[in-house]
Chains A and B, each alone.
Chain A
Amino acid sequence: MKYFFTHIFKRKSSMGDRRIGLDQGLFVLSLIILIITVLLPIIMIVLRTFFVGTKLDWRLFPQIVFAPDNLSAIINTIKIAFFVTVFGTLLGLFYAWLIGRSDIPLKGVMKALFTIPYMFPPFFGAMAWSLLLAPRSGYLNKLFMQITGGSSPLLNINTIGGIVFVEVCYYFPFVFLQVVSALERMDPTLEESARIAGAGQWYVIRKITLPLVLPAIAAGAMLILISSLSHFGVPAILGFSNNIFTLPTKIYQLINRSAGSFQGIREGASLSILLVVVVVAALYLQKLVLRTGHYDIIKGKSMRPMLIKLRGAKIPLLTISLISLFVIVVVPLFMIFIVGFLKAYGLPLKLQNLTLRNYKYILGQSKMVKDSIVNSLFLSITSGVITMFLGVMIAYVVIKVKPRGKGFLEILSLLPYSIPGIVLAIGVILVWSGAFGVNLYNTIWIILIAYIARYVSFAMKSASASLEQVHYSLEEAARSCGATHLESLRDITIPLIRPGMIAGFFLIFLPAMRELTTSILLYGPFTRTLGVAIYAINSEGNTVQASALATVAIAIIVAGNLALRFITKDRKGL
């Protein structure tokens, strides 16, 4: 008995041991989960591409890559990504400068509008612009042909140029937000001291401001590049009808056409590897660019930067900005909204042609749509909660425990960030359709696993940001007051990062709610998601119903965003 007490006492006093126990457990658990959800799918893709059974087979890969169809998809992908990155960066940069450094009015309104494209999936934009600029049926093209009396459309959205345009509309905020925040945090005296040294406004922009925000520009541009390279929705909606394929859409087509056959999956896997290689090359490029510019530009007392007076250019620039915002943000949303109420697609946009029938159908009669809404809500909430906790656990291990091998854990958790959704989907199929004795194919669980793998990077990043602000001493103070390690975690650390966790949940919930790329390869007869349902209805030609359902999705997304804003608004302390 006496021995028992001293044993307990010892265990309690030597908290170091207990700490190692709990932390070690968390480390191993994180590692196992990440290996199963993230690493295994990638390994399976590599195995499928280069092995037949257990025999190494190098021939297939070059065969597939150099097939003319696939080669043109590769070229298209790179072409589109290149132009989207260039135009998106220029557009984002221009607006960032206008809002960050000029005296243009209505900055608040513009800034709020600029973040709207962020909220919606780009394929909504593709749908909306199809409604306007599809070569024969688009409203704008029809109007144009009526006026000119000819049969050639004003613009054809089903082209590479159209795809680039729509993607630019949705991806330029990456650069815009990065650069605006860099400009806002930048010490204004860096620019002022150049003015005093005799440099004029434009000289200062060229020699001081631009070089200083270069890291932000590069970071934003790389985000655009990677997003565009792995993007599925826009080229799928705008390109299929005109036989324009990119790597992601080609992979989708291969898998879809093969109906699960070995050869199809193998070809898809090979192209996936190629896509990953391209994305990793882009990431590496980003590292190279960012390495040259590692410095701190946030210093000094906060003072309003000197705004450049636009004088005569103010009104023209404001007009251009408002018009382009109108085109980028308002027009697509309005089109989707209004077409959702049309009796039939193609009817003139007049009051007598409007009806509630589409909503009645999708929300009342179509079981497929109802299923998809329920599925998406279930998937978004479940994957949001699970991934958020997973992210907290990994971030805790990486930041606070710092075990040997934390670098590996970090890389694993950030890996999905650079793996295109379509590739991840193939990996998940390869792992979870019986290869290891578990067959989840056609169930909702396979989508859930894919979502977790896809969003774990977001969760990990958001949790790290919160955890890094919780100083060691806070937890240590709890320990010194007699709390066990577990208690100090439960009572101090977790409550402190709770606002960050809630925000982290929404950062997963919102994109998961509109997810298309991964689910389109994984859905089964009863497991369509909202994105898949909209996409499917749209490609069946039921444009009005697709628009109505997209409007429903927009409403859900807006509600989620409002909730997120409401929650993050009264974050205290952290």
Chain B
Amino acid sequence: MSQIILKNVTKEFVTRGGHRVVAVDNFNLTINEGECFSFLGPSGCGKTTTLRMIAGFEDLTEGEIWLGDKPVSVKSKNLYVPPENRGLGMVFQSFAVWPHLNVFENVAFPLRVMKKSKDEIREQVRMALTHTDLIRSEKVYPSDLSGGQQQRIALARAIVTNPRVMLLDEPLSNLDPKLRESMRFEIKELQKKFNFTIIFVTHDQSEAMALSDRMLVMDLGKIIQVGAPHELYQKPVNKFVYGFLGLSNFLEVVAEKGNVYPKGGAHVAIPFELPPGIEDGEGLLASRPNEIEISPVRGSGYPAKIEKRLYMTFCIEYHISIGRQTIRVHTSHSNVFSEGSDCFIRFKNPRWYATESERIEQERLERQVL
């Protein structure tokens, strides 16, 4: 069993000024065996703190954490298993490979702690190094290796004991973009081979979406939404999640009798079906730049104007004004409009977020930071 269960986990810090800050607020979460689960959120949202509580580097203020059927932190019973006895693998953003030990010694460290025999150590280290493509650098010291290779040492060191749970704390953020992509793939491959559960902390949404089976978006110490990447991408519960998971436009709109009009624009209804039960009110219409159609044909959408055209590698970006508001639209290179020309836009898959509920949500979050 390598399920991970968090029950009512709360972590409070006391700042130097004596203020109490809730870093993690009442987390309830079950991470399934063999799953790759990501914590996604902006820096300071509490994702690393949560991971460090699971690892045992931080004590809880309240709640309990279970690894499989074993409790490792239970505040009410004052139970706390130190990190070395939790049997986890972990990879850090800073690599944390020991500069005074060579590659072999780095990877052998966990086995030496376990007092394994020399032959066993040799065999297991060799295997871990083979899987991480480091077998030819055994005797090299980390400072003579590149960032990517150093992170592979950290990976090898984490898998060498064949742990059931692997904690990854932004392991790719210190690598250059190309390497990041190939390492993503390598981590996935290793997971397939060794079948461990992964908890992956990142602030990079595309990394989280590419790697995870399920993910969690959090902000200011609160869980905002949990689900599979495509669920979160297609049905974000609020503006924050929508904005965090990709490029986005938020058009301020007014709903009147079931019709939606942009604020400060022509009084023409935007073709959009409001969620059931909503007729009137103010809100935001969220859309992705690549999910908007532009057409020169009158009547084929909401009238707008091309303000600016930028050529990019994957697409053309248009800045299009709708009344006083501007949105970004990405189209293929075959779709060329000139700056200043009139056009008609249609949102393919927009989402409605009522202003009132957004405001309440924001207040709820901010109340936690006192």
Binding site for B on A (CB under 8 A): 187, 189-190, 192-201, 203, 207-208, 211-212, 214, 293, 295-297, 299-301, 306
> What's the least CB distance linking A497 to chain B, in Å?
31
B95: chain A residues at CB < 8 Å are 299-300
- The stretch of B107-115, B235-243, B361-369 in contact with A is B107-115
A189-B96, A295-B143 given; A198·B110 CB < 8 A: yes
Query: Is the C-beta of B264 less than 8 angstroms from some C-beta in chain A?
Result: no
Of the candidates A189, A212, A293, the one whose C-beta lies within 8 Å of that of B92 is A189
A-B contact pairs, 29 of them (CB 8 A): A187-B94, A189-B92, A190-B98, A193-B90, A193-B154, A193-B157, A195-B56, A195-B82, A195-B83, A196-B83, A196-B84, A196-B167, A197-B84, A197-B110, A197-B113, A198-B84, A198-B113, A198-B161, A199-B84, A199-B110, A212-B98, A212-B99, A295-B141, A296-B99, A297-B99, A299-B95, A300-B92, A301-B93, A306-B57
B161: chain A residues at CB < 8 Å are 197-198
In the complex, A195 Cα to B98 Cα: how many Å? 13
Residue ID in chain A nearest B86 by CB atoms: A196
B89: chain A residues at CB < 8 Å are 196
Interchain CB contact under 8 A, A192 and B82: no
Query: Is the C-beta of B192 less than 8 angstroms from some C-beta in chain A?
Result: no
B97: chain A residues at CB < 8 Å are 193
Interchain CB contact under 8 A, A196 and B90: yes
Of the candidates A196, A211, A299, the one whose C-beta lies within 8 Å of that of B94 is A299
> What's the least CB distance linking A417 to chain B, in Å?
28
Query: Is the C-beta of B77 less than 8 angstroms from some C-beta in chain A?
Result: no
> What's the least CB distance linking A160 to chain B, in Å?
37
Interface hits, B52-89 → A, CB 8 Å? 55-57, 82-89
> What's the least CB distance linking B211 to chain A, in Å?
20
In the complex, A297 Cα to B94 Cα: how many Å? 11
> What's the least CB distance linking A442 to chain B, in Å?
55
A200: chain B residues at CB < 8 Å are 82, 84
Interface hits, B122-150 → A, CB 8 Å? 141, 143
> What's the least CB distance linking B146 to chain A, in Å?
14
B114: chain A residues at CB < 8 Å are 198
Interchain CB contact under 8 A, A190 and B109: no
Interchain CB contact under 8 A, B93 and A197: no
Number of A-B contacts (CB under 8 A): 83
Binding site for A on B (CB under 8 A): 55-57, 82-90, 92-100, 109-110, 113-114, 141, 143, 154, 157-158, 161, 167
Of the candidates B83, B87, B109, the one whose C-beta lies within 8 Å of that of A192 is B83
Of the candidates B85, B87, B92, the one whose C-beta lies within 8 Å of that of A193 is B92
Interchain CB contact under 8 A, B96 and A193: yes
A296: chain B residues at CB < 8 Å are 99, 143
A201: chain B residues at CB < 8 Å are 82
Closest 10 CB pairs of A and B: A300-B94, A295-B99, A197-B110, A189-B96, A193-B96, A195-B83, A189-B92, A196-B90, A198-B113, A211-B100
Interchain CB contact under 8 A, A197 and B157: yes
Of the candidates B55, B93, B141, the one whose C-beta lies within 8 Å of that of A196 is B55
A306: chain B residues at CB < 8 Å are 57
In the complex, A196 Cα to B113 Cα: how many Å? 11
B154: chain A residues at CB < 8 Å are 193
Of the listed residues A194, A196, A199, A203, the one surrounded by the most CB atoms of chain B closer than 10 A to its CB is: A196
Of the listed residues A193, A199, A293, A301, the one surrounded by the most CB atoms of chain B closer than 10 A to its CB is: A193
Of the candidates A189, A192, A203, A211, the one whose C-beta lies within 8 Å of that of B113 is A203
In the complex, A296 Cα to B89 Cα: how many Å? 24
In the complex, A189 Cα to B88 Cα: how many Å? 15
> What's the least CB distance linking B66 to chain A, in Å?
18
In the complex, A196 Cα to B83 Cα: how many Å? 5
Residue ID in chain B nearest A197 by CB atoms: B110
> What's the least CB distance linking A449 to chain B, in Å?
44
> What's the least CB distance linking A101 to chain B, in Å?
14
In the complex, A214 Cα to B101 Cα: how many Å? 14
Residue ID in chain B nearest A195 by CB atoms: B83
> What's the least CB distance linking B306 to chain A, in Å?
41
Interchain CB contact under 8 A, B94 and A301: yes
In the complex, A505 Cα to B98 Cα: how many Å? 39
> What's the least CB distance linking B12 to chain A, in Å?
15
> What's the least CB distance linking B223 to chain A, in Å?
23
Residue ID in chain B nearest A214 by CB atoms: B100
Of the listed residues A197, A301, A306, the one surrounded by the most CB atoms of chain B closer than 10 A to its CB is: A197
> What's the least CB distance linking A80 to chain B, in Å?
32
Residue ID in chain A nearest B174 by CB atoms: A300
> What's the least CB distance linking A213 to chain B, in Å?
10
Interchain CB contact under 8 A, B96 and A300: yes
B57: chain A residues at CB < 8 Å are 192, 195, 306
Interchain CB contact under 8 A, A197 and B96: no
Residue ID in chain A nearest B94 by CB atoms: A300
A195-B84, A197-B157, A199-B113 given; A189·B94 CB < 8 A: yes
> What's the least CB distance linking B271 to chain A, in Å?
47
Interchain CB contact under 8 A, A293 and B100: yes
> What's the least CB distance linking A484 to chain B, in Å?
42
